[in-house]
Amino acid sequence: MRIATWNVNSIRARVDRVVDWLVREDIDVLAMQEIKCKPAQFPIEAFTAAGYEVEIHGLNQWNGVAIASRLPMSEVTHEFAGMPGFAKKAPVPLDPEAPGTDALGYPLEARALGATIDGLRLYSLYVPNGRGLDDPHWHYKLAWLEALRADTERWLSENPDLPLALMGDWNVAPFDGDMGDPSFSVGNSTHVSPEERAAFHAFEAAGLSDVVRPLVPEGYTFWDYTQLRFPRNEGMRIDFILASRAFADLVTDASIHRDERKGDGPSDHVPVVVDIQLEGEDDDMPMIFG
């Protein structure tokens, strides 16, 4: 079974590239971020024709997450408990009872989508960008990560053997080698501040691990469109698959599909893939006899 995550930067602008890649790479499940549309605008027909069903969580032209799967999806959830919302200016009045708002009354954004597939609990996540170290959005980012970590800890305390994978655009470069964009300076920019890195590494204390890095130690997953960042390979590693022990034990391979940043009309992110071997699942490799 091949599971992937990809920030597609508008599914309407990218649908042909995404579906071509799904088929070519024999992907079973794809967690997408930044679909940038509402469900009615999502080009679902192209996915259906290729044999995928799609769950979509999109509220407007910003953010938006989806999961495409060849296998049935169940227990589909939007958001997670305690997920904070955001607005540049506090809504007037702040009404926690209003639909689509958090406990303070701030509007929730479409940044998390969960589904159970073949016993695996999978999330497509789009962590807030942060914008700047003195920006309210940066505090929102930290609160959002902390709420997700608290939920993760609760899910795993209730079910320690849960095969859980949190997949997506984390907007954090956890190690110095993950940051190759010279416009970011470690300690003084978003994505590489001590606070963001601590918020990311707290998921390890909660029982998750990066299941791609041990198999793919090097490589970026994002390159800015401007300033020749891709040809100069000045990118960042910010897209991750963090998984519970039960999920990590199933992983047989992983890859970062750097070539998807090439050619006409690429996303600024590339897909990150894990291969897993489920109990009783036929190995995808052909058996060689004799």
Partner DNA sequence: ATGCCGCGGCTTCCGCGA
9: CB partners within 8 A, 6+ apart: 34, 36, 267, 268, 269
- What does the alpha-carbon distance between residue 47 and residue 37 come to, in Å, rounded to a whole number? 16
Part of the chain binding DNA (CB under 7 A), chosen from 69-77, 153-161, 199-207, 265-273: 265-273
Closest contact distance (angstroms) between CB of 38 and DNA is 7
Contact letters (x/-) for DNA, 79-108, by CB under 7 A? ---------x--------------------
Residue 78 CB: number of other CB atoms within 10 A?
17
Residue 140 lies near DNA (rule: CB under 7 A)? no
Residue 268 lies near DNA (rule: CB under 7 A)? yes
Residue 65 lies near DNA (rule: CB under 7 A)? no
Part of the chain binding DNA (CB under 7 A), chosen from 70-78, 157-165, 219-227, 244-252: 219-227
Residue 191 lies near DNA (rule: CB under 7 A)? yes
Asked if 57 and 64 count as a contact pair (C-beta separation under 8 A), the reply is yes
Q: Which of 151, 191, 269, 275 is catalytic?
A: 269
78: helix, strand or coil: strand
Asked if 247 and 120 count as a contact pair (C-beta separation under 8 A), the reply is yes
Asked if 19 and 42 count as a contact pair (C-beta separation under 8 A), the reply is no
Residue 197 lies near DNA (rule: CB under 7 A)? no
Residue 136 lies near DNA (rule: CB under 7 A)? no
7 is in an annotated binding site: yes
Beta strands in 79-111 (DSSP E): none
118 versus 224: smaller Cβ distance to DNA: 224
Does 169 qualify as catalytic in the annotation? yes
Residue 142 lies near DNA (rule: CB under 7 A)? no
137 versus 154: smaller Cβ distance to DNA: 137
Residue 222 lies near DNA (rule: CB under 7 A)? yes
171 is in an annotated binding site: yes
Is the preceding omega at residue 194 within 30 degrees of 0, hence cis?
no
The residue among 204, 178, 205, 203 whose CA lies nearest residue 192 is 178
Q: Which of 28, 151, 169, 239 is catalytic?
A: 169
**Alpha-carbon distances of 261 from 21, 82, 103, 143, rounded to whole Å:** 12, 35, 39, 31
HSE-CB for 287 with a 13 A CA cutoff: 4
82 versus 266: smaller Cβ distance to DNA: 266
96 versus 132: smaller Cβ distance to DNA: 132
Closest contact distance (angstroms) between CB of 279 and DNA is 36
Residue 178 lies near DNA (rule: CB under 7 A)? no
**Residue whose pair of structure tokens reads 């058996």 in the numeric block:** 287
Asked if 57 and 113 count as a contact pair (C-beta separation under 8 A), the reply is yes
Does 269 qualify as catalytic in the annotation? yes
Residue 34 lies near DNA (rule: CB under 7 A)? yes
224: CB partners within 8 A, 6+ apart: 181, 183, 234, 235, 268
Does 126 qualify as catalytic in the annotation? yes
**Residues with catalytic roles:** 126, 169, 269
Residues lying near DNA in the complex (CB under 7 A) are found at 7, 9-10, 12-13, 34, 36-37, 41, 61-62, 88, 128-132, 137, 169, 171, 181, 183, 190-191, 222, 224-227, 236, 238, 265, 268-269
Residue numbers in the known binding site for Mg(2+) are 7, 34, 169, 171, 268-269
